[in-house]
Chains A and B, each alone.
Chain A
Amino acid sequence: MTGTETALNLARAQFAFTVSFHFIFPAFSIGLASYLAVLEGLWLKTGKPVYENLFRYWIKIFSIVFGMGVVSGIVMSYQFGTNWAVFSDKTGAIVGPLMAYEVLSAFFLEAGFLGVMLFGVTKVGPKLHFFATCMVAFGTLISATWILAANSWMQTPAGFTLNEVGQFVPKGSWIPIIFNPSFPYRFVHTVIAAFLTTSLVVGAVGAWHLLRDGQNAGARTMFSMAMWMAAIVAPIQILAGDTQGLNTQEYQPAKVMAMEGHFDSYAAGAPLVLIGIPDEENRRMSHSLEIPKLSSLILAHDLNAPLAGLDTIPRKDWPPVAIIFWSFRVMVALGVAILGLGLFSVLARARGKLYEWPLLHRLAVLMGPAGFIAVIAGWVTTEVGRQPFTVYHALRTAESVSPIASPGVTGSLIAFVVVYFATFVSGGIYIVKLMAKPPSTHESLPEPASPRTAGITPAAAIKSGGGA
C-alpha cells in the first residue's frame, strides 16, 4: 500500500468508527423520545401513575443516551472538514445547507426544550412540560429527515451540476436535491428501525423484570407496549426494506449484486444465495447454498427474469463484496428474528400469557440488543455499498480525502478509540445499571430537578439495585 492509500484507509476507518459509535445513540434516542412523549401523553390523559413512573424511569436513561449522542455528533459535523476536505469543498454547497437546516430546525429545538424536559418538571405546568417533550421528540425526527436527505443525496445524487472549479452546485430547485430518489425509502426504513430498536430495548428491560416479578406494573406495561410495537412494526419494516432494496436495485445495482453475492449474470432466473463465501479474487462464490431462481423473483417479481451480475461492472467500481454480503445477511436474519419475537408475543397475548411465559421473556431479553446490531449492519451495507464513491458515480472516495498524512490520522484514530471506549462504555454501563433496577411506583426525577443530598440518592439506587 502506498502512503496515500494508507492515509485514505485510516481516514475511512476513523469515519466508520466514529459514525458507527455515534449512530447507536440516535438509533435509540429517536425512538425513546417518541416513547417518552407517548408515556407522558398517556399519563396526562388517563392520570394513571404507572405512565408517570415509566416516564420518569426512561427519562433518566434518555438523558444519558441523548448526551452521548450530542457529543459524538459534534465530532461528525467537524470531521467532514478535518478528514474529507476535498469532499467538503466540492459538495459543501449542496450537503452543507441540508446540514445547516438540520442544525437550525432540529438541533436547537431539541437542545432548547431538553433542559425543560429533563429538569423543568417542577418549574412549568404539566401541559407545558408535555409540549417540551413533544418538541424534543419532534426535533429528533426533523434531524433524521435532514441528515438522511444529505446521506441519500450522496447515494443517489440529483438536481446538481458541476461549476467551473468542479464543485457540485444546485442546478435549479432544491426539491430534487432533498427528495432525491433514495431519500423517501431510506427515511422510512431508518426511522422505523429506530422505533424497533427502542421497542426491543424497552421490551427486554420489561421482560427482565417480569422474569423476577411478574406483578410489577411498570414492567408489565412497558413489555406489553414494546411487544405491540414489535408485532405491528416488524412486518412493516420488512416491507420497507424490500422497497428500499428495489430502489437500490434501480439506482445502485452494484450494491445489490454484492448484497446478493452475484458475481455472474444470469440470463434466465438468478438463484438466491442464502450463504456462502464471496471470493472477490476469483470472482465467484464458494461453498454457497442457493435456492434457484428465487433472487429473480424477489428483485424482479418474475422467476425467469434475467439478472445482471458484477461481471457487468468494471472492477474498479466494485464495492467491497464480502463486507456487504455478510452485513446484509446479519441485518436480514435479525429482521426475521424480530418478526418472530413479535409473532410469538401475539400468540402469548392471544392465550392470555403475555406476562407469564418465561420463554417469551427470555427471548425478549436476548433480543434486546438486536436492533442496534441490525441498524449498524444495515448502515454498513448501504455505506460500504456506496464505495468506491462518496457521491455515487460522481466523486471517488480516493479523491475526497484531506491532505493529512498517515501519522496524523493514526494519532487521531487512536485518540478517538481510546476516548470513545473510556466514555461511552462507561455510559453504557450506567444505562444498564439503571435498567437493572425495576421500575418503582415512586420513580425519582433526574438530577438536579429533584431534591437530593449530595451523592446519596442516585448512588444508593444503583448500588442496592432497587427500592428507590
Chain B
Amino acid sequence: MINTLKTQKNTRLPQLHVLTKLAMFLSITVSVFFIASLTPLLLILGLIIGGFYLRNATLGAFKWLIMALLLSAPTTMAIFVISFGVEKGFSQTVITMGAYEGALFLMRIFPLALANILFVKTTDARELQLLFNALKFPSEISLLIATVFRFFPLMSQEALRIIEVQRSRGLKPTSLLRPKKFLPLVIPLLLINIQRSYEMNLSMELRGVYVAQTHVEMRFTKYDILVGVLVFCGLGLIFVA
C-alpha cells in the first residue's frame, strides 16, 4: 500500500529502505572519525557526491552552508598549521604535518555535512515516522524525530530569505563568516523558527497526529541487503584497520 502511494522519485538508483539509508549515513558519520588517511576519506566524499548525482539531488538551500564551509577552509588550515607550529616549533615537517591534519579535518567535515544533507534531501518525514513506528518507538518520539528532520530544509530556506533581506540593507554575505556579524542572521532565524515550531506543534496537536498510530511491516529489497552488507563490511574493515 505504501508503495502505491509513494511518488515516483526522479532517480537513477533503486529506492532504498529508509532503515538502510539511516544505517548507511550513520555509519558514514561514525566512520569518518576513525579514518586517519586522506585516500579513504576522499573515496567516501566521491561516493557521496556520486550519490547526489545519481539521486538527482540538488544542494538547493544548503548551497550557502557548503559555500561557508569552503570559504572557511583556508582559515581552518591556518589554525591547524599555527597550532602545530606553536606546540612543536615552526619547521618544514611540522608545517606539513599541520597542513595534513587540517586537510584531514576538512575531509571529515565535508562528507559528514554532505551525507546528512543527502539523507535529508532523499527522505521525508513520513517515511521516518513509519520506520520508528515499525521499530515500536512511541508515536510522540517518532513524530518528534521526523519533524526535526523536516525542520532542516525549512531552516536553511528561512536562512536564505533572511540573508536576502539583510543583503538589501548592506550586509555582505562574506561578513557572515565573522561571528560578530552573525546577529542579523541568527536572531531573526531563531525567532522565526521558534514561531514555526510552535505553529507546527499546534498543528500536529489539532490534527491528532499524536494519538494516531500507524504500524507498517518493514520490507527489504535485494538492494537493501546488498547495501547493508557493504556497510557492514566497510565498517568492519575500518575498525580492523
Q: Do A and B associate with each other? A: no
Q: Which residues on B are within 8 Å of A, measured CB to CB? A: none
Q: Which residues on A are within 8 Å of B, measured CB to CB? A: none
